[in-house]
Structure 1
Amino acid sequence: MTSQRLFRIHTSLFCSLICLILATPQLLQAEDKGFQPIFDGKTLKNWDGDPRFWSVKDGAITGITTKDNPTQGNTFIIWRGGEPGDFELKLQYKIIGHNSGIQYRSFPVKGADKWRIGGYQADMEAGDKYSGILYGEKFRGILALRGEKTVIGKNHKPKVVGSVGDTDEIQKHIKKEDWNDYHIIARGNHFIHKINGITTVDVTDNDVDMRRDKGLIALQLHAGPPMEVQFRDIQLKELPASKETSSTDGAKKKVVLIAGKKSHGYGAHEHRAGCMLLAEALNNSGLNIEATVVTEGWPKDASILDDADSIVIYCDGGGRHPYNEHLDELDELAKQGVGMVNIHYGVEVPKGKSGDAFLRWIGGYFEEWWSVNPHWTADYKSLPAHPIANGVKPFSINDEWYYHMRFQPEMKNVDPILTAVPPKETLKRPDGAHSGNPAVRKTIGQPQHMAWAYERPDGGRGFGFTGGHFHWNWGNDDFRKLVLNAIAWSAQVDVPADGVASAPVTLEQLEANQDYPQPDNFNPARIKALLAQWNQ
């Protein structure tokens, strides 16, 4: 082979490699489906700001003030391409000196110049305290400090109701005088800020008199000391209009419980009877929830799901799971923030398209040849500080507790709710699709998670619960309360401190609505004894 030919081959390979490297960012960006760039990286087309301060520099919208060229009051460069309501906004920012922010659902300030606006603002700064907060510019002041989960009431003031993380720990992930990723999710009256993938605030705005449902997007240049701030890779994804996330304004949250077809026999996998018990408890709980039960699997008229706040399914799974044929429909509902709750066999679907969907919706699922389904008595000695655990006392109960579930990598956004150590006897069966496998045998003696909560990146919520084989277990007050709490939580309802209230379940209620006739050898005294033992 001649040296000239070798040179041509090497040159061709080098050029191909360079093209691949240059194309990689575009390929990665294409994975963010639905996002559209609103800054072209070259000009200020569709952006309106004071030209004394704003320009394009190094492919970024750049705002600069100096000692000789200060701004009199905060000034903004405003995107004139629309006034989004529900959306996700992603961008990169770099700040040197002082303070800045990203305005959304904003409004022009009366009596000021055209570049002065107010509204919700995702803050950033050169310091260590305010990056990531939600600030109301000309609009109620600080609405959530970094690390806070707040609810804004009718008195126009935020109330801290929880935490999304330690403010100092979050700050450690924010780079100084370097590029950071900012992600804003605005859905209904619920707002989430993230910097470099870390949630910084979670805010629900129940202030019906002042909150805003749409408005301008803008970037801030703060008055005061000299500073420079840059924004690039600005991408917007507009979302379908969402309903409110609060249960305090009188609007009913709609929960649809899908009961699978009859299955195992009397007292087991009683999907219809179980769903009816849960729905009755929710409807009588005093919360703003309206629960409806659909029987025989996937609803004949699927429009019943269109305005649901949460969908609960209790059914046989695997290849027979009703969801397998409706993944695209459910994906659209999930993108709208609809909660998803899956009970017992309803957490199992085939690996692949269905399994991937479950990972997106509820954060985990039963995967054949990975998960197992033994019957055993799980002893839940403690519960986490999570709304789903409100009012639930530690309990021990026998069930077909599936475990070793397939979860999101590194349990990202997954919160274990029920955790216990299965005895080694749970793996006494030979290896099989549901009975055992080399991976699960390596975990003998380790804690396993039998119920979990999942907060989707778009703000929606999912919950998986592997118990529910024995219908009688719904008579255990703590077992039942935990699932009721989870359903309410998935529908974005504030779970009361003592949990969702429900009256004790009687034997007669448990016997009602079952799919199979009561066998001659049924022993009601045994069930009554269990109820007394559990709820003493």
Structure 2
Amino acid sequence: MKKLSTCILFSIGLFSSALAEKKNILIIYGKSTHQNYAHNNEEVATLLKTKFDNSEYAEKFVIETCLNYPSDLSKVENADLVIISSDGGPKHALFHKKDPTNFTKHFDSVIKKNKTGVIMVHWATDAPSPKFGGLHKENAQLMQDWIGAVYYWVNKGKSPESSWTWKFPVMEFTVNKEHPISNGLPETFKLQDEYYYNFFTEGADSRNPKNDKVTYIHSSKAPSTRDDIEDETKWREQPTYWTYDREDGGRSVGLTSAHFYHTWANPHFFKTFTNSVLWTLNEEVPENGAAIPTPTLKELLAVNKKAAIYMKAEHFK
């Protein structure tokens, strides 16, 4: 009996050790908005959890989703990776009505202490602030610390000193094949989405400069302002997907694509994202990319019966 008990205890110990080695992914999402076909933040959180939970990575990762910043702060403190998908400004998942820095300061201290991976999706790249198009300087600086850049929309994007939004061009992207996040991707691909340009970053011109910490993953020639759309001679290389090696040693990803829900059915975008999850967790990205099948439109729509696909959608397959 003693030998049997010892074997059982040994087995339980191995099982507990295996569980302890799993990495925790926390997906913080804001409310879904935009007529059910865009900014589907809740649906995206559910979709990502479902795809990972039904993949070979279920044995490695524990994924939890949470509407807005959790009241149980241990969820953030125990996370190895935090993915944030939400609207920006006062609708940001990290915005606190009474104290705009309440959640951001906690988040900042945790990720820097733990070297937590960070992925900011679409409008979540806009720093939390009391009003749309406003600038909360402290939170804007924190966003730069987290992802190497911050979206700053002012005067409806008409100011040359502003970030701005382009709806909804079909862009051909150059893929940075030297980065492991691009494993399994083609050298170029097309995607229709809503894109943000002129992010504010650290650097001489403070506008999307590449440096030893910011690396473009998807980039294309794009206008610097809305007034330059018709004059391609004024276009310059700008990223819509990038990585950032933080000062604290953690890894971050920022992306301005994924406005549309159907973007998640684009195999090149989806593989980039799943590869990003592995990279931010310091996991090896397989040569052919993460082994998770691209969601079908049927899968996207099954998440929520109210979800929709943009009627004029192009280049999402």
| TM-score category (smaller protein) | 0.7 to 0.9
CA contact (8 A) 2:87 2:123 kept: yes
Question: Higher strand share goes to which structure?
Answer: 1
Which runs of structure 2 are paired with 1:300-315 in the superposition (5 Å)?
A: 300-315=71-86
CA displacement at 1:442 relative to structure 2 = 11
CA contact (8 A) 2:174 2:218 kept: no
Match for 1:282: what amino acid? F
CA contact (8 A) 1:422 1:445 kept: yes
CA displacement at 1:486 relative to structure 2 = 1.2
Residues of 2 paired with 1:283 and 1:494: CA distance? Answer: 19
Residues of 1 paired with 2:307 and 2:145: CA distance? Answer: 40
Name the counterpart of 1:380. 173
CA displacement at 1:250 relative to structure 2 = 8.2
Match for 2:73: what amino acid? A
CA displacement at 1:517 relative to structure 2 = 2.7
Which runs of structure 2 are paired with 1:50-449 in the superposition (5 Å)?
A: 251-287=21-57, 288-295=60-67, 297-325=68-96, 326-335=103-112, 336-349=114-127, 350-369=135-154, 370-375=162-167, 376-393=169-186, 394-409=188-203, 411-412=210-211, 413-422=213-222, 427-428=226-227, 444-449=234-239
CA displacement at 1:382 relative to structure 2 = 3.2
Residues of 2 paired with 1:396 and 1:341: CA distance? Answer: 22
Name the counterpart of 2:261. 471
Deviation readout 1:12-45 (Å, 9 max, x if unpaired): xxxxxxxxxxxxxxxxxxxxxxxxxxxxxxxxxx
CA contact (8 A) 2:181 2:276 kept: yes
TM-score (norm 2): 0.76
Match for 1:275: what amino acid? A
CA contact (8 A) 2:260 2:310 kept: no
Deviation readout 1:281-324 (Å, 9 max, x if unpaired): 233342322222113x2223232112100100000002332223
Name the counterpart of 1:491. 281
Distance of aligned partners of 1:427 and 1:320 in 2 relative to their CA distance in 1, 3 Å threshold: same
Residues of 2 paired with 1:481 and 1:256: CA distance? Answer: 19
Name the counterpart of 1:12. none
CA contact (8 A) 1:298 1:323 kept: yes
TM-score (norm 1): 0.46
Q: Secondary structure at the match of 2:94?
A: helix
Name the counterpart of 1:204. none
Q: Secondary structure at the match of 1:255?
A: strand
For this pair of structures, how many residues does the alignment match?
268
Question: Higher helix share goes to which structure?
Answer: 2
CA displacement at 1:495 relative to structure 2 = 1.5
Residues of 2 paired with 1:444 and 1:379: CA distance? Answer: 17
CA contact (8 A) 1:272 1:513 kept: no
CA contact (8 A) 2:177 2:183 kept: no
Give the structure, 1 or 2, with the largest relative contact order (CA under 8 Å, sep 6 or more).
Answer: 2
Match for 2:63: what amino acid? A
Match for 1:382: what amino acid? V
Task: Show structure 2 runs of 5+ residues with no match.
Answer: 1-17, 97-102, 128-134, 155-161, 204-208
CA contact (8 A) 1:377 1:396 kept: yes
Q: Secondary structure at the match of 2:181?
A: helix
Q: Alignment RMSD, CA only? A: 2.9
Distance of aligned partners of 1:498 and 1:319 in 2 relative to their CA distance in 1, 3 Å threshold: same
Residues of 2 paired with 1:510 and 1:427: CA distance? Answer: 32
Deviation readout 1:336-364 (Å, 9 max, x if unpaired): 20111100011011341111001111111
Distance of aligned partners of 1:382 and 1:417 in 2 relative to their CA distance in 1, 3 Å threshold: closer
Distance of aligned partners of 1:386 and 1:518 in 2 relative to their CA distance in 1, 3 Å threshold: closer
Q: In the alignment, is residue 453 of structure 1 matched against residue 223 of structure 2?
A: no
Residues of 2 paired with 1:317 and 1:443: CA distance? Answer: 31
CA contact (8 A) 2:163 2:196 kept: yes
Which runs of structure 2 are paired with 1:9-24 in the superposition (5 Å)?
A: none
CA contact (8 A) 1:451 1:466 kept: yes
Residues of 2 paired with 1:476 and 1:323: CA distance? Answer: 28
Q: Secondary structure at the match of 1:469?
A: coil
Distance of aligned partners of 1:254 and 1:381 in 2 relative to their CA distance in 1, 3 Å threshold: same
Q: In the alignment, is residue 517 of structure 1 matched against residue 306 of structure 2?
A: yes
Match for 1:517: what amino acid? K
Distance of aligned partners of 1:293 and 1:249 in 2 relative to their CA distance in 1, 3 Å threshold: closer
Name the counterpart of 2:131. none
Q: Secondary structure at the match of 2:275?
A: helix
Residues of 1 paired with 2:171 and 2:307: CA distance? Answer: 28
